[in-house]
Amino acid sequence: MPQSIENGPEHVAIIMDGNGRWAQKRGRPRLFGHHAGAKRVREIVEACPEHGVKYLTIFAFSTENWKRTQSEVAGLMSLFRRYIQRETRELVEKGVCVRFIGDRRQLDPKLQKLMDNLEYLTKDNTLVNLTIALNYGGRDEVARAIKKLAQDVAGGDLDPETVDESTLTRYLDTHVLPDPDLVIRTSGEARISNFLLWQSAYSEYEFIETLWPDFTRDVFAETLAKYGTRERRFGAVLT
């Protein structure tokens, strides 16, 4: 079994890009690629303990993805429902704690119920913390957090003079998670696409050419090994 990487990341976040292009290269519809990508998630979750990764956050559906065709959006929502139904037992038995971040209000009530149930069933698991960003956008998250903070100030529950960076962090969807050490984006695109904007201020980034359905355990291990060679300074000069 592979060993934990020395100085490896505790929290890895992944922008899972390239499903559609992977399918189109094979002459198949985009949803075929999304189904292949969903299967890849299980493999990467299972690989996390082998490398000392305690937290995995994946970008499943952004607030901007509603702009896609109606058929693709409907297909993705159906895929999310089936994924949760199919994987719940495995996630519970394997010790994976699942959380969802993002604005759930726009999602189908049946999907919301499945999400709530999966979170409840896995809440005491500790082997891997899997966070799924669904209808998530970094700017939207910060805006929602500021709205809640402002309401507490207006209600007299929060002194505005005490507000600092740590205050806002407590209002974010990710308030129970450490910031990501490493953010990976697959498919060769070199942008962050509104993902974990606040949390990734000092994250390391890896933009790799591999399309998400081809992101195997070996590619994951190679990417984590690259991280292990980096010197993280957090703005300081190390002597």
Q: Give, in order, the Cα–Cα distances in Å from 183 to each of 57, 86, 107, 145, 232.
A: 9, 27, 26, 22, 14
- Whether residue 65 lies in the annotated active site: yes
The pTM is what?
0.93
Each residue's pLDDT tens digit in the chain (239 positions)? 444 556 789 999 999 999 999 999 999 999 999 999 999 999 999 999 999 999 999 999 999 999 999 999 999 999 999 999 999 999 999 999 999 999 999 999 999 999 999 999 999 999 999 999 999 999 999 999 999 999 999 999 999 999 999 999 999 999 999 999 999 999 999 999 999 999 999 999 999 999 999 999 999 999 999 998 876 655 555 55
- Given 65, 103, 140, 179, which residue is catalytic? 65
Residue at token pair 């998670």: 177
Phi, psi of 178 (to 5 degrees): -75, 160
- Given 17, 19, 135, 181, which residue is catalytic? 17
First to last CA, the chain: 36
Alpha carbon dihedral 143, 147, 150, 154, in 10-degree steps, equals: 160
Note the pLDDT of residue 20.
95
Query: How many residues are present in the chain?
Result: 239
Tokens of 131: 């966070």
Task: Evaluate whether 54 touches 99 at the Cβ level (below 8 Å).
Answer: no
Q: Give, in order, the Cα–Cα distances in Å from 109 to each of 83, 112, 118, 129, 143.
A: 16, 5, 14, 24, 23
What is the C-alpha separation between 163 and 138, in angstroms, rounded? 20
Note the pLDDT of residue 229.
84
Alpha carbon dihedral 84, 87, 93, 98, in 10-degree steps, equals: -40
Note the pLDDT of residue 1.
42
What is the C-alpha separation between 58 and 53, in angstroms, rounded? 13
Note the pLDDT of residue 7.
78
DSSP helix/strand/coil, 92 = helix
- Whether residue 117 lies in the annotated active site: no
Question: Which DSSP state fits 142?
Answer: H
Number of other residues whose CB lies within 10 A of the CB of residue 203: 18
- Which residue, among 20, 38, 37, has the nearest Cα to 29 in the 3D structure? 20
Note the pLDDT of residue 168.
96
